[in-house]
């Protein structure tokens, strides 16, 4: 108990001395009853404290250490920032990869939707053409429309099966379309069935060319875009409303087509509304048989 009390008084006097609050004598005078006991220990403690306190590191050592310390801190800071940048880059890379995958999936989904719509239209159109061919006399435009449908069928099959489409086939399609346009003359003068057949053929071709322009590599895709432009001009001259294409599917081709001004004014005739001429919806891809494709 006494030792604890003496220890506390010793520490109090030592703290007062090191903090500059009291001298040794002043402290001893505060504790006259234990002065004799306290004094030697207090003087020893002060001597120890002073001796250690006088031992300072050499200036050059302290300065050298400071420079190393600050340099190391700076290097660490830079490394930390670099690590953050790398992590950020990695995160962005992951995001970009995920985004790319999403775009591919979206493009495939759109392509399938367009292909499904094309297939459905071609099938319906082909069935009607066969039925009409069997029930009525052939129109003078029938051979050309038949050629157009044949080429469209071949192109659709190739595009749907992931086989490369040759640009020559696209050029042939465009040429047939131009020939048909020159043979049609006044679209409004045609009978209603011929108008409907041509309207469907052009609308289907428009969707088909969109699909090819978005899924086939160069030089087929640019050729498809040129053919799209021709198709759009022909549709404009006949006064046909083309089906809407999903924005992502239209992509580059769509923008290019939109920028192309129509070279010919649409005819004054308003085509009769047809249920087949509505915006296509996604559906199962159903390839047609060769028999169905014949006019």
Partner 1 sequence: MSPNGQAQGDRLIVDAARAGDASALSELYTLYFPRVYRYILARTGNTYDAEDLAEEVFMRVLEAIERFQWREAPFSAWLFRIAHNAVISQRRKETARGRSSQLSEGLAVNSQGPDELVENRLALSDIREAAEKLPEAQRQVIALRFAAGLSVAETARTMGKGEGNVKVIQHKAIVKLREMMGQARPARVYESETAR
Q: Which residues sit at the interface with partner 1, rule CB under 8 A?
A: 3-4, 6-8, 10-11, 15-18, 20-25, 40-41, 43-59, 61-62, 65-66, 68-70, 72-74, 76-77, 80
**Cβ 7 to partner 1 shortest distance, Å:** 3
Contact 267, 187 (CB under 8 A): yes
**Which residue bears the tokens 């004094």?**
39
**Cβ 23 to partner 1 shortest distance, Å:** 4
Measured CA to CA, the distance from residue 132 to residue 75 in angstroms comes to 83
**Cβ 55 to partner 1 shortest distance, Å:** 6
Contact 271, 199 (CB under 8 A): yes
Burial (Cβ within 10 Å: 0-12, 13-18, ≥19) of residue 251: middle
72 versus 255: smaller Cβ distance to partner 1: 72
11 versus 258: smaller Cβ distance to partner 1: 11
40 versus 284: smaller Cβ distance to partner 1: 40
Measured CA to CA, the distance from residue 47 to residue 38 in angstroms comes to 14
88 versus 95: smaller Cβ distance to partner 1: 88
**Cβ 91 to partner 1 shortest distance, Å:** 22
23 versus 270: smaller Cβ distance to partner 1: 23
Measured CA to CA, the distance from residue 160 to residue 286 in angstroms comes to 10
Measured CA to CA, the distance from residue 165 to residue 220 in angstroms comes to 7
Contact 114, 254 (CB under 8 A): no
**Cβ 8 to partner 1 shortest distance, Å:** 5
């Amino acid at each position: 108990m006494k030792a604890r009390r003496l220890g506390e008084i010793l520490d109090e006097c030592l703290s007062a001395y090191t903090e500059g609050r009291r001298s040794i004598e002043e402290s001893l005078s505060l504790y006259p009853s234990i002065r004799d006991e306290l004094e030697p220990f207090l003087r020893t403690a002060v001597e120890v404290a002073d001796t250690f306190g006088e031992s300072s590191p050499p200036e050059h050592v302290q300065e050298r250490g400071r420079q190393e310390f600050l340099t190391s801190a700076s290097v660490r800071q830079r490394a930390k920032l670099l690590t953050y940048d790398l992590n950020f880059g990695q995160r962005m890379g992951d995001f970009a990869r995920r985004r790319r995958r999403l775009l591919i999936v979206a493009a495939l989904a759109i392509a399938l939707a367009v292909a499904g719509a094309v297939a459905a239209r071609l099938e319906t159109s082909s069935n009607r053409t066969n039925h009409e061919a069997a029930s009525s006399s052939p129109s003078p435009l029938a051979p050309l429309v038949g050629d157009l449908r044949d080429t469209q069928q071949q192109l659709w099959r190739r595009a749907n099966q992931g086989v490369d489409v040759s640009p020559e086939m696209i050029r042939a399609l465009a040429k047939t379309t131009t020939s048909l346009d020159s043979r049609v003359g006044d679209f409004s003068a045609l009978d209603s069935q011929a108008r409907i057949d041509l309207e469907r053929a052009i609308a289907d071709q428009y969707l088909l060319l969109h699909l090819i322009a978005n899924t086939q590599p160069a030089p087929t895709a640019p050729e498809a875009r040129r053919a799209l432009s021709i198709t759009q001009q022909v549709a404009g001259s006949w006064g046909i409303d083309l089906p809407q294409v999903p924005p992502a599917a239209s992509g580059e081709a769509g923008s290019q087509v939109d920028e192309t001004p129509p070279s010919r004014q649409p005819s004054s005739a308003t085509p009769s509304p047809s249920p087949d001429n509505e915006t296509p919806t996604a559906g199962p891809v159903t390839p047609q048989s060769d028999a169905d494709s014949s006019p």
